[in-house]
Structure 1
């Protein structure tokens, strides 16, 4: 399921794919000396040598409503060395994603989180081995109970991978849980959903039912079980560390805008 959402991310015209492409070609040289944060009529923006930053694709001015987010972007710009490497600028990439997607994409992002919540990682359980079954029950059931109590909903977990339809009233209330969220927030929630494979975890975090570490733990129950059995794989752990960096950035956006 995580792979499906990661594939969906590739279709977002967000500058993220451009950042990955730049890693395969010659990186641009740093073209600025000073980095600042400016406050304007519509929010905060990063300036490079006094000029407002724009997105790499459509050259749209980048403005955010949170000073915390603007400062995080400024820190990434300031940390660049001789070359500008988008791979080291996760906050900039995420915000560029939102800006270049445009407000018209907000309903689609909201629907994306709801889509994966309706067929969520937490709802499809293993039938063996017993240790994994018990861990899934302990960690995932705790999340479902918190969501059920908070939103007055019911879930129908199942064993295996055959689709189990969730109650319509549950899906409607979970969709309503995303109502009123802006484009930047929804972009961050889509990122969390993709990185964890779970819309339910993204919604639970948005509503402060789980901490960021709780979300990360729940998302990696299966993977951690495999690590206990077979040990750590260096490549896999490197990928996981990179995902955690992206996750922490999305978490920062949610916390700043919540």
Structure 2
């Protein structure tokens, strides 16, 4: 008799969980794809769908994070220990049934694009933003024909209808794995431009995270290093790198 599936914990539910399994293994799924079993019990996503991904390498990465979560049976873990599982769940249960909804969610970042809001002082920060951000907007114009307006200060900036239409077209051509990756990268970096650069191979995930955090890094050179900020920047970079890895593993054959 097949064992009942194990339900993935919801990310929005805070707190730690107790690891109840000893072993995580990959299994092929009838009809195609690969799942992950915990002590022989298949993983089910928060909505009840069985976890099944198209790539064996991605399934292996998901099994790996379950094998590490909590250290050993009885150990404590949180949903943050399962980033690949969370992205797979988003792709399968939320994006695949309605990719347009994910495109619409990403479109909310167009008017708030990080690279389009420039500091007015200090001079060192203004110069660093020009040096790091101008080339990315130039790439966007040259590669995708999207010419985004730039402002200084914090007053809201509304991009043109042509810019919105162009972004909607670009995002609408992405596959579900890429949309899932962008769903992590873009909020983390507050930049749809840098997210697109990563998923199209124009920037590495690590370099994009550096560009996105130029302001924080310059401020630390002025005011001194802050341990909490350093950790926040490390976590941001890790999220972007993991999302990029998810996309590539999902697309691997």
Shorter-chain TM-score tier: 0.7 to 0.9
Equivalence for 1:234: 227
Match of 2:42 among 48, 52, 56: 52
Equivalence for 1:33: 23
Cα displacement string for residues 15-73 of structure 1 (whole angstroms, at most 9, x for unaligned residues) = 2213xx232xxx22323435224254242211223332112x33320111223321110
Question: Counterparts of 1:81-100 in structure 2 under 5 Å?
Answer: 81-82=72-73, 83=75, 85=77, 86-100=79-93
C-alpha distance in 2, partners of 1:224/1:139?
12
C-alpha distance in 1, partners of 2:142/2:197?
11
Q: Is the 8 A contact 1:16 1:97 kept in 2?
A: no
C-alpha distance in 1, partners of 2:166/2:210?
25
Q: Could you list the runs of 5+ residues in structure 1 that have no partner in the other structure? A: 1-13
C-alpha distance in 2, partners of 1:209/1:33?
38
Q: Is the 8 A contact 1:113 1:193 kept in 2?
A: yes
Match of 2:209 among 192, 212, 216: 216
Cα displacement string for residues 157-200 of structure 1 (whole angstroms, at most 9, x for unaligned residues) = 11112223323222212221122334343122011011101111
C-alpha distance in 2, partners of 1:89/1:37?
18
Equivalence for 2:12: 17
Does 2:132 align with 1:139? yes
C-alpha distance in 1, partners of 2:181/2:36?
19
TM-score by length of 2: 0.85
Cα displacement string for residues 99-126 of structure 1 (whole angstroms, at most 9, x for unaligned residues) = 3435344222212222212331100101
Q: CA RMSD in A?
A: 2.2
Equivalence for 1:78: 67
TM-score by length of 1: 0.83
Q: 2:44 aligns to what SS in structure 1?
A: coil
Q: How far did residue 130 of structure 1 move?
A: 0.9
Equivalence for 2:3: none
Equivalence for 1:65: 54
**Greater percentage in helix:** 1
Cα displacement string for residues 57-100 of structure 1 (whole angstroms, at most 9, x for unaligned residues) = 33320111223321110111122312351332221222233334
Q: 2:34 aligns to what SS in structure 1?
A: strand
- Return structure 1 stretches of 4+ with deviation > 6 angstroms: none
Q: 1:139 to 1:40 in 2, by over 3 A?
A: farther
Give the number of equivalent residue pairs.
239
Greater CA drift, 122-131 or 32-41? 32-41
Q: Could you list the runs of 5+ residues in structure 2 that have no partner in the other structure? A: 1-8
Equivalence for 1:8: none
C-alpha distance in 1, partners of 2:42/2:214?
43
C-alpha distance in 2, partners of 1:204/1:152?
14
Equivalence for 1:157: 150
Which has the bigger relative contact order, CA under 8 A and spacing at least 6? 1
Q: Is the 8 A contact 1:15 1:100 kept in 2?
A: no
C-alpha distance in 2, partners of 1:42/1:84?
33
Q: 2:48 aligns to what SS in structure 1?
A: coil
Q: 1:33 to 1:163 in 2, by over 3 A?
A: closer
